[in-house]
Amino acid sequence: MDAQCFNRPRSLSVEPALLAELSALNADYAACLDGARYADWVELFAAQCEYRLQPRENFEQGLPLCTMALESRGMLHDRVYGIEHTLFHQPYHQRHVLGPVRVISIEQAEGSLRLTAETPYVVFRVRHGELPEVFNVGRYLDELVREAGRLKFASRWAIFDSEMVANSIIYPV
């Protein structure tokens, strides 16, 4: 993914129906993670997909090191299995707050669709008996495709603005 492509000053004008579909996909993404519905989260990704959580500094310098890198749908399923069956940690809940989506590019040809988009996010973490805390802040950089009639993430990179993360990352951001 090219960092320069996402630094364009303006988003593309997009048909309202496509923009609504893209916004609904983002809302579903947040609802799945906030509701601990991780199997449903995986279904939002295309058959060939990737998910990355990466510090902004590494992304902008073209450095490959990521905090989390899931390079296939199988790896997304493995992460879900780990969350639900093998990881032990102090439980917490996440709450995603998403900004407006900005469409960077659209390619349409003979029934296929591929678009790139950017969405700012803030994730709050809430532990039982504690005040909410800002957990992660950044932007999603997405490549989306239409698969079986629905928009899906071919690639979702969560580029977080801080250089460090609190404790550890258990759940996808």
pLDDT of residue 11: 73
Instruction: Give how far Cα 67 sits from Cα of 11, 50, 74, 154, Å.
Output: 28, 14, 18, 19
**Fold type of domain 3-160:** Nuclear Transport Factor 2; Chain: A, (3.10.450)
Pairing of strands 93-98, 68-70: unpaired
Report the candidate in 169, 161, 112 with the shortest Cα–Cα distance to residue 141: 161
Nearest to 111 by CA among 149, 66, 160, 85: 149
Average pLDDT value for residue range 107-136: 92
Please report the pLDDT score of residue 104 as a whole number.
95
What is the pTM for the complete model shown? 0.91
The pLDDT value given to residue 150: 95
pLDDT tens, residue by residue, 35-54: 999 999 999 999 999 999 99
Question: Other CB atoms closer than 10 Å to residue 9's CB: what's the count?
Answer: 4
Place of tokens 């801080």: 162
The string of pLDDT tens digits covering residues 146-172 is 999 999 999 999 999 987 776 678 889
pLDDT classification of 110: cutoffs 50, 70, 90: confident
Q: What is the mean pLDDT of the chain?
A: 91
pLDDT band at 2 (very low <50, low <70, confident <90, very high): low
Residue 77: predicted pLDDT = 97
Q: Is the pLDDT at 9 greater than 70, yes or no?
A: no
List the chain domain ranges: 3-160
Q: Which 8-state DSSP code applies to residue 130?
A: S
Structure tokens at 37: 């519905």
